[in-house]
Amino acid sequence: MLTRRRSLALLAAPALAAVPAFAPAFAQAPFPDQPVRLIVPFAAGGPADIVARLIGQPMGERLRQPVVVDSRSGAGGMVGVEAVARSRPDGLTMVLASTGALTVLPQIMPRIAYDVQKDLAPVTLAVTVPQILVVSPKLGVRSVAELVALAKREPGRLSYGSAGSGSSPHLAGELFRLRTGIDIVHVPYRGAAPAVTDLLAGTIDLLLADVPVVLSHIRGGALPALAVTADRRLAVLPDVPTMAEAGARDVISGTWYALFVPAGTPPDRIAILHDAAAGALRRDEVRRSLAEQGGTAVGGTPAELAAFVRAETTKWGEVIRAADIRID
């Protein structure tokens, strides 16, 4: 049975926002006079790419070296993560990895080419983005309570979309299903965009999507937003209740992005990279740009990121086993 304590792991993210005092002490340590490559394991132009470019430039200013964003998409982010895991541990190669490739796919894939704990070293948790429960306008429900009541009256009729099996929206949908005790059918898509298209058309009934994916549709009135999967309401959607406020407790989920380097990277270089990343995430314009898309800049210590990843792995592992999620 899913435990309340573990399901609240994501609540800890805002508390990591304080930047540690030790980092600036390393700011003058020697660093190679070479560009730093920041691998984004998703396609250019997507949310991860946007985050990387938002923080890459101010990081480069602090490092006095250019930070070059390099897209390496494929296999749900695993291609880019593997590339960094196999890179030279000199501090010149980082990856902006996310939820799936670090905590979900390693638990549902039969074979994976890297070990998160052994092959990667944490730098900082950069950004957290919660999800929004949206429904088809044809469904005729305007609250989580109405949705749950309908699903319980007609078990197995309602369907929810995702960006693919094992994706963050898939896990969020299963968490919502388990917490509310409803029977709904998963419909995987090849990305979030086609899922949103079918939701608008009424082909599927609901979707738990990252805020930026559906924000314009919510603001335009095309998609009813029932709840946000965070512990507090979002400034960009202040009228949308949290899941707890809507009556669905412990449905805390989202996508997060974190910086890692290859294991074996010298601690002083990790500290320099952390200082640069945390400084970038403190910038008003960066925090404002992220907040406009429903994201929260974090910037915690490497140790805090390591603990966060362990907690997330445990949490989603319980959902994976309870829902019997697997990829052959």
Exposed e or buried b per residue across 248-259, where buried means at least 16 C-beta atoms within 10 angstroms of its C-beta: bebbbbbbbbbb
- Read off the pLDDT band of 42 (50, 70, 90): confident
For the stretch 287-315, pLDDT in tens is 999 999 899 999 999 999 999 999 999 99
- According to DSSP, the β-strands at 93-98 and 254-262 are antiparallel
List, for residues 135-191, the tens digit of each pLDDT value: 999 999 999 999 999 999 999 999 999 988 888 899 999 999 999 999 999 999 988
Report the pLDDT averaged over residues 18-29: 41
| pLDDT for residue 274 is more than 80 | yes
Asked whether the domain spanning 130-228 has the same topology as the one spanning 4-129+255-323, the reply is: yes
pLDDT at position 65, please? 93
Q: What is the rounded average pLDDT of the residues 187-212?
A: 94
Predicted pLDDT at 26:
41
> What does the pLDDT read at residue 29?
52
Residue 7 contacts residue 322 (beta carbons within 8 Å): no
- pLDDT at residue 24 greater than cutoff 50: no
CATH superfamily of 130-228: Periplasmic binding protein-like II (3.40.190.10)
Structure-token pair, residue 78: 């695993």
3-class DSSP state of 13: helix
Q: What is the pLDDT of residue 163?
A: 87
Poorest-confidence range of 27-36, 156-165, 315-324? Answer: 27-36
Q: What is the DSSP letter of 242?
A: B
173-197 burial, b at 16+ Cβ within 10 Å, e below that, comes to bbbbbbbbebebebbebeebeebbe
Residue-level pLDDT at 20? 40
- Residue ranges per domain, the chain? 4-129+255-323, 130-228
User: What's residue 328's pLDDT?
Assistant: 64
Q: Is the pLDDT of residue 39 over 80?
A: yes
pTM of this structure: 0.85
Question: What per-residue confidence (pLDDT) applies to 30?
Answer: 63
CATH of domain 4-129+255-323: 3.40.190.150
Q: Is the pLDDT of residue 15 over 60?
A: no
Tens digit of each residue's pLDDT (9 = 90 or more) over 114-146: 999 999 999 999 999 999 999 999 999 999 999
Q: What is the pLDDT of residues 61-95, one digit of tens each?
A: 999 999 999 998 888 889 999 999 999 999 999 99
- 4-13, 32-41, 58-67, 172-181, range with the lowest pLDDT: 4-13
